[in-house]
């Protein structure tokens, strides 16, 4: 067994998912430290081939490329069958997969296939001697834990979205592209995709660099309007507290927190959110947190880096105007 | 229809978690409850039974405390509950846990649908459901926000499942594994009758031998992942820097300065 690292590259209709390139960057650093190769696994529909060169520019040495209709529209069965076969052939030490909906399915399925361990949702991965040690949050981020796969190989890790830096692509990098064929034919796949319903509205929370979030303080569905404008100026996604979601002011897809999404943007602007522990569970790892709240005693001010005490209906429009003026 | 729901017991979500010097995790005086995500799976099972008839069996691999999760599910309306445990199961990772659960489901034999919660709020791995599906060789329909159709005669199921970009609509033959997510339903409260039934119920415990599981595939021996070190996350000291200008315009302008300096906009 070598020191090679496999990275599963995720894409949606030909659009690469950022976390895959974050994972390639991580794989590159590890491979450079211990002298191994990075192989990107890119399995999807006809037309995804251009992403192979992109994966190389982010740090892959080699790309296993499969283009086939059975691999369009993520389905677990054909993906895991092909990935397992590729891994069996090359016998890499490590497989990295982004911790998205798709990746969180693929990781454990591959682990069962190969009878090995899969560490979920890693936020750090370090080499301690010969052993890779992952750090990951547990109990909604109230505790952290170090995890490892001491004996079995490969070691599978899913990486939290935005936990690892996305490298600068180097378009002069050269690598090898190897075409591979799917393992399963359509007749072997039980699950059929019959339709796709697009998510409503704008930037996805999971990989947004900036999030503007509203809570009970926005007062009603129309209270999100000034937040939407601020989000638009910042190219931000819209988040919400559970109180706002439960009140029916905004769909569940926007909920941040223990029973919603876990996010880790560069900037999180919490408007009219008190900062309950369950809300914090979903956003505490944001790089910079700004709180806008009229109650100076709100717990969110204990977590936030910057705070403005005031009425969000005055502060948010003013902030939008100032940003428009300053960012052009 | 025979529907199986897999549940785990966890500390309450409001519990104050801590770790002592020896690395032992404690949740203060907080009660152990059913993993909150699993209530959606239980609720969905009960609704399917109400629509199509049949029975709902709730199972958990866990020590005696795990009966709390089973009790809650019975009090909500499940028909039967089984706990699977032996000391050898201690420190099982998801590879080993899924092995035990799959063996128990195989033993039942006549299962049409296996339901899971999204993730356990303690270990947060999001893995056990999909791993059980793969072990049983069944379709894995995960992060399901809606069961759009279920036809017990044609033996097909159609669900809407979440992806980052939207909802994928997929169909599969039964038996199948469905991982639920919040939004699929609003779990009911336990009823007085249900609580009485749960209190009087016997909770059989299946051993590894009973489900035909090999001891070297459970616990530490059967696991791929170890977690030698659990610790408190570093706490952020202090309070927010409160930004206060003469006017709202001046205040937000100061904030924009800070955010530009932080390079986050
Ligand atoms: C098991 C469990 C899971 C949970 N999961 C989640 C979760 O995933 N996500 C989540 O968010 N919550 C979750 N909660 C709920 C959480 O405990 C809080 O109830 C919730 O986060 C409160 O939302 P909020 O801050 O919007 O509302 P509130 O706590 O009511 O706060 C509203 C805030 O707005 C401020 N305000 C009001 N008007 C204005 C104004 N005009 N201008 C400025 N400020 C104003 C007020 O001062 C107040 O601080 C969970 C709870 C439980 C028990
Ligand atoms: N020990 C267990 N016994 C029964 N079901 C479990 C157990 N652990 C996890 N599950 C189920 O698997 C789901 C995902 O758990 P996890 O992979 O641990 O995040 C949970 O919501 C439960 O439905």
pLDDT band for position B234 (cuts 50, 70, 90)? confident
Mutate to test the pocket of ligand 2, among B58, B85, B120 (most ligand atoms within 8 A of CB): B120
Say yes or no: A214 and A285 in one domain: yes
Best probe residue, ligand 2, of B3, B33, B35 (max atoms within 8 Å of C-beta): B35
Q: Which residues are within 8 A (CB) of B33 and not within 5 positions of it... i.e. 6 or more apart?
A: B9, B10, B11, B12, B68, B69, B72
Q: Taking a C-beta distance cutoff of 8 angstroms, is the pair A119, A159 a contact? A: no
- The full 3-state SS of A180-193, as one line of letters, equals CCCCCCHHHCCCEE
Does residue B58 form part of some domain? Answer: yes
One domain for residues A109 and A147: yes
Total residues belonging to chain B: 265
Q: Quick one: A13 and A141 in the same domain?
A: yes
Residues of B in Cβ contact (< 8 Å) with A152? 224
* Mean of the per-residue pLDDT values of chain B: 95
Looking at the domain assignment, is residue B230 inside a domain? no
Do A174 and A82 have their domain in common?
A: yes
Same domain? For A135 and A252 the reply is no
**Total CB pairs under 8 A between chain A and B:** 250
Residues A170 and A215 in one domain: no
- With respect to residue B223, please indicate whether it lies within any of the assigned structural domains: no
Is residue B24 a part of any domain in this protein? yes
Per DSSP, the residues of chain B read -EEEEE--EEE-TT---EE-TT--EE-TTPPEEE-TTHHHHHHHHHHHHHHH--EEEEEEE--GGGHHHHHHHHHHT-SEEEEE--GGGTT--HHHHHHHHHHHHHHH---SEEEE-S--TTT----HHHHHHHHHT--EEEEEEEEEEEETTTTEEEEEEEETTEEEEEEEESSEEEEE-TTS--PPPPPHHHHHHHHH----EE-HHHHT--GGGSTTTT-S-EEEEEEPPPPPPS--EE---SSHHHHHHHHHHHHHHTT--
**Can you tell me the distance from the alpha carbon of A260 to that of A239, in angstroms, rounded to the nearest whole number?**
10
CA of A310 to the centre of ligand 1 (A): 17
| CATH code (residue B212) | 3.40.50.620
- The reply to whether A303 falls in a domain is yes
Does a structural domain hold residue B255?
Answer: no
Chain B, window 114-133: residues with a beta carbon less than 8 angstroms from a chain A beta carbon: 121-128, 130-131, 133
- In this structure, the answer to whether residues A97 and A52 fall within a common structural domain is yes
CATH of the domain at A239: 3.40.50.1220
Residue A13: inside a domain: yes
Answer yes or no: do A146 and A281 share one domain: no
pLDDT per position in chain A (328 positions), as tens? 578 999 999 999 999 999 999 999 999 999 999 889 999 999 999 999 999 999 999 999 999 999 999 999 999 999 999 999 999 999 999 999 999 999 999 999 999 999 999 999 999 999 998 899 999 999 988 899 999 999 999 999 999 998 999 999 999 999 999 999 999 999 999 999 999 988 765 667 887 899 999 999 999 999 999 999 999 999 999 999 999 999 999 988 899 998 889 899 999 999 999 999 899 989 998 999 999 999 999 999 999 999 999 999 999 999 999 999 988 6
What the block records as the tokens of A36 is 């191994």
Q: Which atom of ligand 2 is nearest to the CA of B118?
A: 21
Q: What separation in Å is there between the alpha carbon of B265 and the centre of ligand 1?
A: 26
Q: Which domain holds residue B202?
A: 2-217
Chain B nearest C-alpha distance from A194 (Å):
6
User: Within this chain, do residues A238 and A270 fall inside the same structural domain, yes or no?
Assistant: yes
* CB nearest B243 (choices: A75, A288, A308): A308
Q: Whose CA is nearest to atom 8 of ligand 2?
A: B8
Residue to mutate among A94, A240, A306, with most B CBs inside 10 A, is A306
Whose tokens are 């995500």? That residue is: B37
Domain-embedded: residue A205: no
Position A124 in a domain = yes
Q: What's the domain count of chain A?
A: 2
Report the gap between the CA of B76 and the closest CA in chain A (Å): 21
Query: ipTM of this predicted complex?
Result: 0.90
The answer to whether position A194 is within a domain reads no
Shortest alpha-carbon distance between residue A276 and chain B (Å): 10
**What is the atom index within ligand 2 of the atom nearest the CA of B62?**
1
Residue A201 belongs to a domain: no
Q: Does A73 reside within a domain?
A: yes
Tally of domains within chain B: 1
Look at residue B55 and tell me if it is in a domain. yes
Q: Which ligand is nearest to the CA of B9?
A: 2
CB B184 within 8 A of CB B146: yes
| Residue A289 domain flag | yes
Give me the CATH number covering residue A165.
Answer: 3.40.50.620
Q: Is residue B253 part of a domain?
A: no
Q: Which domain holds residue A108?
A: 5-188
Question: Could you give the CA distance from residue B138 to residue B130 in angstroms, rounded to a whole number?
Answer: 9
């Amino acid at each position: 067994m070598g020191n090679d690292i496999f990275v599963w590259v995720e894409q949606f209709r030909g659009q690469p998912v950022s976390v895959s390139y974050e994972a390639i960057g991580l794989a590159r650093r590890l491979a450079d430290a211990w002298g191994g190769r990075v192989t990107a696994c890119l399995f999807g529909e006809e037309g995804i081939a251009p992403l192979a060169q992109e994966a190389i520019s982010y740090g892959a040495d080699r790309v296993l490329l499969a283009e086939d209709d059975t691999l369009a529209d993520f389905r677990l069965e054909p993906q895991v069958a092909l990935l397992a076969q590729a891994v069996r052939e090359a016998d890499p030490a490590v497989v990295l997969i982004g911790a998205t909906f798709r990746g969180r399915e693929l990781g454990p399925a591959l682990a069962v296939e190969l009878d090995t361990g899969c560490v979920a949702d890693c936020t750090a991965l370090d080499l301690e001697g010969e052993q890779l040690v992952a750090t990951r949050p547990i109990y909604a981020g109230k505790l952290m834990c170090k995890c490892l796969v001491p004996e079995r190989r490969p070691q599978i890790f899913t990486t939290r979205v935005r936990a690892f830096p996305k490298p600068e692509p180097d378009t002069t990098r050269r690598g090898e592209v190897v075409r591979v064929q799917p393992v399963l034919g359509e007749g072997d796949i039980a699950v059929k995709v019959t339709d796709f319903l697009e998510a409503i509205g704008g930037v996805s929370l999971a990989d947004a660099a900036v999030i503007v979030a509203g809570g009970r303080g926005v007062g009603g569905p129309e209270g999100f309007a000034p937040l939407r404008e601020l989000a638009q100026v910042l190219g931000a996604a819209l988040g919400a507290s559970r109180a706002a979601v439960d009140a029916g002011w905004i769909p569940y897809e926007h909920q941040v927190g223990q029973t919603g999404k876990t996010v880790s943007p560069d900037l999180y602007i919490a408007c009219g959110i008190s900062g309950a522990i369950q809300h914090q569970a979903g956003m505490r790892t944001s790089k910079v947190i700004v709180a806008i709240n009229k109650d100076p005693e709100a717990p969110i001010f204990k977590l936030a880096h910057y705070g403005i005490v005031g009425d969000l209906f005055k502060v948010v429009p003013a902030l939008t105007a100032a940003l428009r003026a300053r960012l052009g | 229809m025979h529907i199986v729901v897999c549940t785990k017991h966890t500390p309450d979500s409001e519990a104050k978690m801590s770790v002592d010097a020896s690395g032992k995790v404690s949740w203060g005086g907080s009660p152990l409850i059913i993993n909150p995500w699993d209530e959606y799976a239980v609720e969905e099972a009960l609704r399917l039974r109400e629509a199509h008839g049949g029975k709902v069996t709730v199972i958990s691999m866990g020590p005696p405390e795990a009966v709390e999760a089973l009790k809650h599910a019975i009090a909500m309306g499940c028909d039967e509950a089984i706990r699977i445990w032996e000391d050898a199961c201690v420190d099982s990772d998801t590879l080993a846990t899924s092995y035990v659960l799959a063996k128990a489901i195989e033993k039942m034999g006549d299962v049409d649908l296996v339901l899971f919660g999204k993730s356990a709020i303690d270990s947060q791995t999001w893995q056990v459901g999909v791993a059980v599906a793969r072990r049983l060789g069944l379709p894995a329909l995960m992060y399901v926000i809606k069961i759009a159709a279920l036809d017990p005669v044609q033996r097909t199921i159609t669900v809407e499942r979440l992806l980052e970009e939207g909802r994928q609509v997929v169909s599969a033959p039964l038996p199948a594994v469905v991982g639920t997510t919040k939004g699929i339903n609003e779990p009911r409260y336990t009823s007085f009758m249900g609580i009485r039934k749960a209190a009087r119920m016997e909770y059989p415990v299946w051993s590894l031998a009973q489900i035909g599981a090999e001891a070297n595939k459970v616990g530490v021996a059967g696991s791929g992942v170890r977690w030698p070190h659990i610790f408190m996350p570093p706490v952020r000291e202090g309070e927010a820097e409160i930004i206060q200008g003469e006017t709202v315009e001046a205040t937000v302008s100061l904030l924009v300065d800070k955010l530009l300096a932080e390079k986050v906009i």
